[in-house]
Amino acid sequence: MSDRILVSTRKGLFTFEREGASWALRQRAFVGDNVTLSHVDRRDGRFYAALDHGHFGVKLHRSDDGVEWTEVAVPSYPERPADYGDETHAGEALPWSLKRIWAFANAGDGGGNLWCGTIPGGLFRSRDGGESWSLCEPLWLHPDRKKWMGGGADYPGIHSILVDPRDPRRVLVGVSCGGVWETLDEGASWTVRAEGMRADFMPPELAGDPNTQDPHLVVACPADFDRMWSQHHCGIWRSVDGARSWQEIEKAGPSTFGFAVAVHPKDPECAWFVPAVSDQHRIPVDGELVVTRTRDGGRSFEVLREGLPKEAAYDLVYRHALDIDESGERLVFGSTTGSVWVSENGGDSWQALSHHLPPVYATCFA
């Protein structure tokens, strides 16, 4: 099991460590600063923290031990050619400029090889632990990339990066809004893979367009990579054929709306969600915070509530704020109201690590 949890928040990065049967807050980094995402590359033991200083821009820091941090390079976009039209759905020029670091994943070839997804939609690759980054041009210059649009944010972005453990040249990325994209040749060519998803926020004739889909997060079971889950803006979808097709799960406890999803590392039938009422009401149903779990591929769901607030709860759990460790038994999630809960038994029960952190953007086991 993983005995360390990184919690990225609006006001700092907080590290909890398990000691005996309890968890303790052990490290605080970047206190007061906006830490939007963190990542651990277990191949070389390095930590990464993405910051958004607002006025001063997006930064990336790296650490060998989770205590001392060094600023490294951020992905940077090329100058847009003067004759290359690229407008948002609102009719303004899409800025070719880094707005947010929104996803990390380990690429093939060992420690320090990373993928990074960003807003406004660029996918970047580093081979030196973040000292330098290169834009994946075949995806950025794909003509259909211009169809992507912001969902919540002003600009589109890549929030999910899935690297096939059997062949790391195969990578899938999830885009809000832009569907799911797959490369089989480490980024040289790309195909959209969102068949079966449905965008209720589009006119009927465009609802099935793969490029307009808003999968809030996409995950794949590490032990059975072709079985995937997506918490989509318009519900929950599942794929059993490596994203070639997606099937909607129409019922999942109190609601199918949410942002986060976690899949069991060994059992592709088992997945967890944290539901909210709807896109117009991003709060728990009836003020009760629950986690939903399926063990049978979405045919049925259990509603898990032991240890979670049963009334007057207005927590929302963002897409990167739910994580599961390699055992499949330990889960963690954090909320917009600064609470963090851990489960040691697959979600059957939860214990709170804190109720008063800053708003939580992301959690990850380290």
Partner 1 sequence: MATVHFTQNLRRHVASESSEVPGRTVREALDRLFADNPKLAGYVVDEHGALRHHMNIFVDGEMVRDRQQLSDPIDDGAEIYVMQALSGG
Tell me the closest approach of the beta carbon of residue 71 to partner 1, in angstroms: 7
Name the minimum Å distance from CB 29 to partner 1: 13
Q: Which is nearer to partner 1, 95 or 138 (CB)?
A: 95
> Is 75 or 179 the residue whose CB approaches partner 1 more closely?
75
Q: Which of 28, 42, 43, 53 binds partner 1 (CB under 8 A)?
A: 53
* 56 forms part of the interface with partner 1 (CB under 8 A): yes
User: Which tokens sit at 282?
Assistant: 């991003």
* Span near partner 1 by CB under 8 A; candidates 51-59, 210-218, 233-241, 254-262: 51-59
Phi/psi at 46 (nearest 5 deg)?
-90, 150
The distance of closest approach from Cβ of residue 118 to partner 1 in the complex, given in angstroms and rounded to an integer, is 12
Name which position in 74, 171, 175, 342 contacts partner 1 (CB under 8 A): 74
Q: How far apart are CA 178 and CA 149, in angstroms?
A: 7
Residues in the interface with partner 1 (CB under 8 A) total 14
Quick one: which of 5, 98, 243, 322 contacts partner 1 (CB under 8 A)?
98
Q: Which stretch binds partner 1 (CB under 8 A): 68-76, 118-126, 203-211, 223-231?
A: 68-76
Q: What angle do CA 324, 330, 335 make, to 5 degrees?
A: 65
* Region from 70-78, 218-226, 242-250, 338-346 binding partner 1, contact rule CB under 8 A: 70-78
Dihedral (CA of 129, 130, 132, 138) sign: positive
Stretch that binds partner 1, among 21-29, 54-62, 110-118, 233-241 (CB under 8 A): 54-62
Q: Decide whether 97 or 327 has the Cβ nearer to partner 1.
A: 97
Q: In whole angstroms, how close is the CB of 76 to partner 1 at the nearest point?
A: 4
59 contributes a contact to partner 1 by CB under 8 A = yes
Pick the piece of the chain touching partner 1 (CB under 8 A) from 21-29, 48-56, 160-168, 193-201. Answer: 48-56
Task: Verify binding: residue 54, partner 1, rule CB under 8 A.
Answer: yes
Min separation Cβ 119 and partner 1, Å: 14
**Pairwise CA distance, residues 84 & 72, whole Å:** 30
Question: Does 97 contact partner 1 by CB under 8 A?
Answer: yes
Position among 2, 76, 88, 132 found at the interface with partner 1 (CB under 8 A): 76
Report the residue number, 74 or 217, with the smaller CB distance to partner 1: 74
* Interaction of residue 321 with partner 1, rule CB under 8 A: no
Of the pair 71, 326, the CB lying nearest partner 1 is at 71
CB of 53 to partner 1, least distance (A): 7
Least separation in angstroms between CB 75 and partner 1: 9
Mapped to the 3 state alphabet, what secondary structure does the chain carry? CCCEEEEEECCEEEEEEEECCEEEEEEEECCCCCEEEEEEECCCCEEEEEEECHHHCEEEEEECCCCCEEEECCCCCCCCCCCCCCECCCCCECCCCCCEEEEEEECCCCCCCEEEEEECCCEEEECCCCCCCEECHHHHCCHHHHHCCCCCCCCCEEEEEEECCCCCCCEEEEEECCEEEEECCCCCCCEECCCCCCCCCCCHHHCCCHHHCCEEEEEEECCEEEEEEEEECCEEEEECCCCCCCEEECCCCCCCEEEEEEECCCCCCCEEEEEECECCECCCHHHCCCEEEECCCCCCCEEECECCCCCCCCCCCCCECEEECCCCCCEEEECCCCCEEEECCCCCECEEEECCCCCEEEEEEC
Smaller CB distance to partner 1: residue 120 or 334? 120
By CB under 8 A, residue 57 contacts partner 1: yes
Residue 317 structure tokens: 């759990």
* 79 near partner 1, judged by CB under 8 A: yes
Q: Given CA atoms 210, 212, 215, 218 in this order, what sign does their dihedral have?
A: positive
- The residues of the shown chain that bind partner 1, judged by CB under 8 A, are 53-57, 59, 71, 74, 76-77, 79, 96-98
